């Protein structure tokens, strides 16, 4: 009897239930086209509370070790470089996010199970997404060690990333606010957060990057 009531009143599921409220309108907005970074008040707050080990790693990083200088995509969270245009495509239970810079492609398993512990650690890690109301939430684990940014803020294999995406209208333009929380017990004393704002550009399309290694 209880099961029948749940079928009839399916909308009474709590908003944190994965997939419960995948709003087609929001999906349509995200898939509308290319989004590009814009500045603005309250965006790009980046402070990294480094542990002693994190500080040592940061100070020992040489700027010319930046993998992007060799056209090697540095992976998340740098995969979503604030300067890189990107787009979204939902297909069934898969979300694909493409970033123009370095031709990076991320695959997000919507409502997927967490990856098994033995899954390999990779630059972009393993990402699982779900909807919390109209907010797209992406959790990423299994990252390989590297750098959070080109200045050498370190990331370890224990880093996890939570991203939330909210589509809003601001000053007549459609924007998506992306909030990231980086948790890394090896390198950060507490989670580090940052917020980026991207604007919808209906007249743009993603262009191939075709990176060239530069010798200095």
Q: What does the alpha-carbon distance between residue 22 and residue 164 come to, in Å, rounded to a whole number?
A: 14
Q: Quick one: which H or E segment has residue 161?
A: strand 160-170
Q: What does the alpha-carbon distance between residue 199 and residue 33 come to, in Å, rounded to a whole number?
A: 10
- Build a one-symbol-per-residue string for 184-213: x at contacts with another protein by CB under 8 A, - elsewhere: --------------------x--x-xxxxx
Task: Find out whether 17 and 158 touch, Cβ atoms under 8 Å.
Answer: no
Task: Report the residue from 20, 32, 71, 145 that binds another protein according to the rule CB under 8 A.
Answer: 71
Check residue 214 for interaction with another protein (CB under 8 A). yes
Check residue 1 for interaction with another protein (CB under 8 A). no
Least distance from C-beta 44 to another protein, angstroms? 11
Give SS3 for 173.
strand
Q: What does the alpha-carbon distance between residue 22 and residue 134 come to, in Å, rounded to a whole number?
A: 7
Given the rule CB under 8 A, which of 68-76, 86-94, 134-142, 172-180 is the region that contacts another protein?
Answer: 68-76
- Backbone φ and ψ of 92, nearest 5°: 60, -125
Task: Report the residue from 150, 158, 162, 179 that binds another protein according to the rule CB under 8 A.
Answer: 150
Check residue 100 for interaction with another protein (CB under 8 A). yes
Q: Which residues contact another protein by CB under 8 A? A: 62-64, 66, 68-69, 71, 100-101, 150-151, 204, 207, 209-216
């Amino acid at each position: 009897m209880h099961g029948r009531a749940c079928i009839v009143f399916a909308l009474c599921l709590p908003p944190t239930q994965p997939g419960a409220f995948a709003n087609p309108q929001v999906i349509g907005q995200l898939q509308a086209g290319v989004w590009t970074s814009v500045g603005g008040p309250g965006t790009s707050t980046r402070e990294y509370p480094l542990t002693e080990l994190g500080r040592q790693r940061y100070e020992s990083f040489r700027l010319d070790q930046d993998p992007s200088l060799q056209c090697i995509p540095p992976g998340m969270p740098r995969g979503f470089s604030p300067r890189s245009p990107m787009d979204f495509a939902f297909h069934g239970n898969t979300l694909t996010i493409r970033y123009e810079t370095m031709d990076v492609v991320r695959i997000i398993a919507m409502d997927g199970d967490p990856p098994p512990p033995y899954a390999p650690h990779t630059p972009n890690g393993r990402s699982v997404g779900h909807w919390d109301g109209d907010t797209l939430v992406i959790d990423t684990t299994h990252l390989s060690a590297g750098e959070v940014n080109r200045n050498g803020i370190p990331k370890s294999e224990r880093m996890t990333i939570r991203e939330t995406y909210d589509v809003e209208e601001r000053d007549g333009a459609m924007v998506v606010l992306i909030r990231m929380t980086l948790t890394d017990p090896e390198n950060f004393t507490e989670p580090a957060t940052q917020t980026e704002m991207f604007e919808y550009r209906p007249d743009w399309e993603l262009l191939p990057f075709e990176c060239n290694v530069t010798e200095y």
